[in-house]
Structures are given as structure tokens and as C-alpha cells.
A and B are shown apart, each in its own frame.
Chain A
Amino acid sequence: MVASSSPDSAGAPSQGAPARPPLPGGRFAANGSIVGQLVKIALLSLFTAFGVWAVLPLYVAGNWWGIGLVVAVVGLVYYVYLSKRTVPAKYLVPGVVFLLAFQIIPVLYTMSTSVTNLSDGHRGDKDRAIAAIEAFSVTRDPDSPEYVLTVATTGDPDTGELVFLLTDSEGNAYAGTDEGLSELGGADVDQAGKVTDAFGYTLLSPAEVNARSDELQEFAVPTRDGAGIRSSGLSSAFEGSAIRVYDEACDCVTDTETGEVYTADNDRGAFYNEDGQRLAQGWQVNVGLDNFARFLLNPTFASSFFGILLWNITFAVAVTGLVFVVGLAVAMTLHVPRMRGKTFYRILVILPYAMSSLAMYLLWRDMFNTDFGLFNRMLGLQVDWLGDVWTARAAVILTNVWLGYPYMFLVATGALQAIPRELGQAAQIDGAGPWQAFRHVTLPLLMVAMTPILIATFAFNFNNFNAVWLITRGGPFSPDNPTAGGTDLLITYTYRLAFSEATAQYGYAAALSVMIFLIVSVISIVSLSRSKALKEVDR
């Protein structure tokens, strides 16, 4: 310690900041230790390296907005960590960057998607839809150019986007995607014209091509206006002219074989003929609040939606209520001063909480199996537990009670220990029975601590995807409504809409997400305003 000139400074820390004595550590002291400085420099250089890594692909793709964004973020980070006035920001920036990029932007994106018709047949813009329609309708002419076809992908062999690697009769190689044809440089081509290796592409083996033959059927490479390349078999392709031709003058597509005219409906993003039939390839348009209106007003969808909502609330209330009752009952049972084997019981009773819930859901599902399940075999029954709506619902609730009550037990034990025993004894001296003492003395005190937990448990179970998906996948389904199952929660219903194999309806799914958000927010805001959580903000 550097000696201080004023004798009383050691014992009087109340002099305030200006009187701070000089600090040890020389000129580094003001900026922290040398180690701290080195760590800071290292982290900043690492971050700069990330920035450079992020900019390169953007530069190649010519995405100047993206580059601007990266530069801005890097600049902000430098400003925050080199300035001395942004101390709170130094602690907030790392988390906030992730929060913005992977939570807030997706939320905003969800909201903007919810007012579009984005779905499997409506992905790109109108030009892309027209190119796809024309390319898909090409037929072979007598003089059609032929290509040797090698099917490849830019991603995973099972799921990545298909790419046609084509070699013409002169041996030139091209790569064709659903956006068009481009020359392929530096590819190895064998004698037969098959591409054997191409940089940046994964070639599919015959078995892999076979597995995706359905997709292959629907794949076409648009070339010039009114022409496209389609496969004929697994190793050859032809360039033909389109039967369906777009005419800008009438904004319509004419089928030259049948003479049918499909007129563009720019509100719905697809071409429709006079009978109201549409071409499969459409484009993305803004549909306003139509997605929301469908769930609320269209009789079929509204009955699914409100039916699911009702069961969703019932499920969350039932699970929350039951885990609370069971957990509290177990905690009360063990809440006596002298009981043997307490620790032993405790360990057994919280065991479900320490098991992996994901695996346990699947285990319970298999215990309910009709043919092989433990329950039917032990009870000698042939009940299709998960095939009937009500037994399936009971099964889902039972499983969640099993997984959820240990948590309530732990919380209730903690809360019970905070309540002085004397209170209950005093009530008994005053003539109250055990039940009365519990009902009027213990329970109200307990609820002070338990209410926020109950709200959180309710909110958690309201969106408990695993709880339903892993046991029933939302089923059982009635034959007249194959999209909404008996145990579906809103979140599992959303997931099926978005990622089902038939059609991916992103717009509807996003609208549903926004509605779930609204429902949960209303419930949470009402309950939060009654709890004291918000008061802590001002502490």
C-alpha cells in the first residue's frame, strides 16, 4: 500500500471517490490487472477473427447488407469493451447478442410469417413459381438435347437439395438447380459421361437416388423461357419445351395441349383455372390476417382449434393440480420430526425427477403398448390404452404426474420448513383439528411461496411438447379429422402443421405460434401482476 499523506484516511472510508489514494499496480491499475488486459486483448482478437470468418461468405455472395451488419456488430463490441463509460454494457452485450439473434429476431420473423401464405407450394417469388411451372411441364421433342445425368446434392444425401450434374454430347458439364443451369468447372467425368467427382457436391449412390425417386420426378431445371430439363430415368435427362407457357399480357399460364388457361391470383399466390383448380407451384404473398381468421372463423379449423385449446388448458390444470396435491401430500407425510428412514424415502421419491424425462416418456409409452406393454401383460388385459381418447388422455396425465410430483415435493418441503411449527401447535391448542390447522394456518402460508411455482408449472405444462409428442404424437386421431388428435396440445398441433410430411404450412403454424404467445402472455401477465415478481425490478 502506498502511504497516504493524510493520517486519518485509513480509518475514514467516507471521504468519497475523489480522495481515493493512489493504487498499487502502477499505471495498469486503472485498467485492471495485466492478466485482465491480456485476456481482453485475446478475446477481442478472437472476436475479430470470427468477424472476418463471417464476412467472407457474405462477400462471395455479394450480400452488402450482411457485411454492414457484421461490421456494425464488431464495431459495437470494440466500442463497448474499449470505452470506460459502458460498464453495464460490458456485462450485458454477450447475452444480449445471442438473445437478439436467436430469440428476438426469430420471434419477429414468426410474426411476419404469420401473415403470409408461406408453405410448401409457396416458397419463392412469382418468377420462380413460373419458371418451375414451365420447367415441370416440359415434354420430349424429337430433337430434344439429351444429357447424361448424375444426381448430386449440396447437403446431406438424404435431405439436401437436389442438383442435376449434366454432361451434354460434347462433354461439357453443367450443374442444374431449381433456379437454373450453370457451368460446372473442374469436374471429373468418366467415359460414359457420368460425373464422378465435383467440388462442393455430394454425389448420390444409386440406392440413395432410388430412395428419393419421388422427389426426382418433381424436379426440373428451368433453362430459358419456356424450356427446362427433366430426368428420364436415373441416369439421363432431356431438355424439352414447356407445354404450360406463361403470358405476361394476361398474367396467365396456358396449357398448350388442353387449351386450359390458369389465371394468376395475386392475393392467393397461385394460378387458378375457371373451375378453381390450381397449379401446384405457387408463390409467397401477404395474406393479412387470413391465417388467424381461419382458425377462429372457419368451422372445421375453429372446432379443431378450440377443442385443442380446451384440452390444452385441462391438461395443464390437471397436471399442475395433481403434482401439487401429490407433492404436497408426500411432503406433509414426511414432515414429522422423528420418523425413521426419511432419507431413504426421500431418495426413492425424487428418483423420477432425476431420470431423463425424454427417455421416461418413451418408456411409459411402451408400458401402455397394447400387445407387448407391461400393463396389459401384468393385468392380463388387451386394452388399447393409447388408442382411445380418454384412456390416452389419462395415460398422458398419469405419466406427467409421475415425472412432475418430485419437483413439487422438493419445493413443498422447503416451504414447509420455513413455516414455524409453533403456528400449527398453537392452532391445535385453540381447539382446531389437524385438518383445520392445515387448512387455515399452514396452507395459506405455504401458498405465498408456492403460487409463483404453480404459475410457472402451469405455463411450462401448457407448452409441454415432449409430454404429449413422445407418448401419443398427439393421437389418437379420428378418421374425419386426421390433423387434430385427441391428446394434441397447441404446440404439437403447430409442429405437425409446420413439419408434417404432407404439406409444410409455415404461415398457419406461425399464426398458431403467435396465438399461443398471446394466450400464455395474458395468463402470465394476469398472474404476474398479482405476485410480487415485478416489484423486484425497482429494488
Chain B
Amino acid sequence: MTATVPDAVRTPYRRSGATRFALWAQRLGWRHVVMWVVAAFAVFPVLFVVSAALNPVGTLSSSQLWPTGASLANAQDLFQNTPFTTWYANSLFFALTNAVVTVLLSALAAYAFSRMRFKGRRVGLIGLLIIQMFPQFLAIVAIYLMFSNIGELYPAIGFDTRWGLLLVYLGGALSINTWLMKGFFDTVPKELDESAQIDGATHAQVFFRIMLPLVTPVLAIVALLVFISTINEFLMASVFLRDTDAKTLGLGLYQLVASQRNANFGMFAVGAIMLSLPTLTVFWFLQRYISDGLTAGAVKG
């Protein structure tokens, strides 16, 4: 658009050039101005965190909006002085496993709700909506008390273990996700799986070979949403994981800037970028599904 302005100015007929510019400003020019303002608002914290990550001094008070130097000192600090790799592995473990298993569990349920008619179907669907209104973290006190007892019987799934927290997360697998998927399953023509069944396919074959490939977009979206929410989950994790080595990256970063927020800021900035990287990557690959998937979810409630 910067190229457009000189063009308009260079035109021999000044008056018509000005008119054209005025017209352009009225139709598109202001839109660019608005977008620059919004983009600046959107980008400046990201710019700040990148610049802080590269800042050789590594303190909050020395970090500028625009990078003043480039060094990997902060990254080195983070890798050497904190259990960063363990934290990162924990975060990725929770996010990936939860996303995969949740997608599987809710797709199974959504298939049953979409394709089969059985006693309790209506109650089940409405029940899922109601349970959804009592978010799992509201029961955090009860979960804490439950796992104090479970941990004594089964140390493998008690506090500070991966499997225990994962089990809690999976408790929320059947939820609004099931509704979202059911809505999408409903749009797949019934004739497809009916004809497959007539050809002798079992219900399991129909589900795995015919339905799942057709509903990939919604699977991708649900996986993305679960992935993002797990990686950003703080409340459950903070109650569950108290050991330094058991923490997720989010908890670790919180702890890092809780006591020494000025001094550790450079390390925090590196960690923040690392925490955002998986999401950014997944986002990039799923870009084309996201808009449609979210809108589909919107209409389906």
C-alpha cells in the first residue's frame, strides 16, 4: 500500500490524483490504518518477550521492547540451572496424551450418540451438558482429598505422578467435545455407513474405516483445543504436582518468576517462547481447519 500513495501523487492531473487518493482512503486506506493499530497491539507483547529472551543481561528492568542485543545466555541459564527439559517433557506428555486419548474417547461416544438409538441416549446427552456446568476444577477440593487417599493405596497414580494427573484430565474427556463431534458426525450422510454395513462391515469397521477419515477436521480441532487447554492448565497441576521435578513447564515458569521476577525474567522469556512453540506449530498446520471448525462448534453449541 505504500506503493499506492506515490503512484497517486505522481499522476499528472493533481486534482484527480487527490480525488483518487481520497476515494482510496475512504474505501481501503482507513482499513489499513485500523489494521496497523490492531496489529501493533497484538504484536508488541510478543515482540517484548522475544527481545527479553535475547537480552544478554536477562533482567526485567533491562529488557526493551525492541531487541538491544542477541545472546543465548538466557537459554543456557534455563537449560543448565533449572530442570527445564523435564518440565518441558512433562508439559508435552500431558498435552499430547490428553489430546489423543480425549479425541479417541469422545469420538467413540459421539459415534454412539450420533448413529445409534438406545435407551438413555437423551438423558446421556443432556447429562453431559449439565455436568459441563460443574467444571472439573470446581471439584478440585474433592479431587485433592480423593487423591490423598488414592496415593496411599496406589503410589503410581498419586500426587506428583504423571498418570494420576492424566487420569483426572481424562475425567473431562466426555464433555462439550462430544457435542461438537456429534454435531459433525450428524452431517456425514447415513447412507455411507449403512451401505458399508450391508456390504458386511461390522460397526467397529464402519467407525474406524469410514467415519473417522470423514470427520478428520473436527478431530483435528478438538485435538488442538484440548492440547492448548492442557498446556495452559494451571489449577489442577498446581495442586497435583508439588515436586520440582514433576512440574509442568507452566508451573515451573510461574515458580521461576514468583520469587525473583526481575532477575529471572530472561529465562522466563525463553521458557514462555518454548511453551508457545508447540501451540504455534500445531496452529500453523491446522490453520485451514481452525476457522471452519470453530464456526461449526459455534453453531452446534
The interface of chain A, by Cβ under 8 A from chain B, is 13, 20, 23-25, 29, 31-33, 36, 54, 57-58, 61, 63, 66, 87-88, 91-92, 94-96, 98-99, 101-107, 109-110, 113, 118, 154-156, 158-159, 326, 329-330, 333-334, 336, 338-341, 345, 348-360, 362-364, 366-367, 369, 371-374, 377-378, 402, 406-407, 410-411, 413-415, 418, 449-450, 452-453, 456, 459, 463, 465-466, 469-470, 491, 494-495, 498-499, 506, 509-510, 513, 516-517, 520-521, 524, 528, 531-534, 536-539
Contacts and interface: CB of A to CB of B under 8 A. Distances in A.
7 contacts: A13-B198, A106-B136, A345-B38, A359-B253, A465-B234, A491-B137, A498-B140
Nearest to A36: B204
Contact of A377 (B61, B202, B292): B61
Contact of B294 (A359, A410, A510): A410
Contacts of B121: 88
A410 B145 CA distance: 40
A364 B172 CA distance: 29
B286 to A, nearest CB: 10
B295 interface: yes
A288 B174 CA distance: 32
B122 interface: yes
B173 A95 contact: yes
A302 B172 CA distance: 32
Contacts, number: 317
Interface in B63-105: 63, 65, 105
Given A24-B200, A63-B153, A369-B60, 12 more contacts: A158-B242, A333-B31, A358-B234, A371-B61, A372-B59, A410-B294, A449-B298, A463-B135, A517-B138, A521-B130, A534-B126, A536-B182
A374 B65 contact: yes
Interface string B245-260: 0000010011001000
Contacts of B111: 91
A480 to B, nearest CB: 26
Given A356-B279, A359-B272, A537-B122, A95 B109 contact: yes
Contacts of B139: 103, 106-107, 109-110, 513
Contacts of B170: 98, 102
Contacts of A63: 153
Interface residues of B, number: 112
B11 interface: no
A364 B232 CA distance: 15
A350 B38 CA distance: 10
Contacts of A539: 186
Interface in B186-216: 186, 195, 198, 200, 202-205, 207
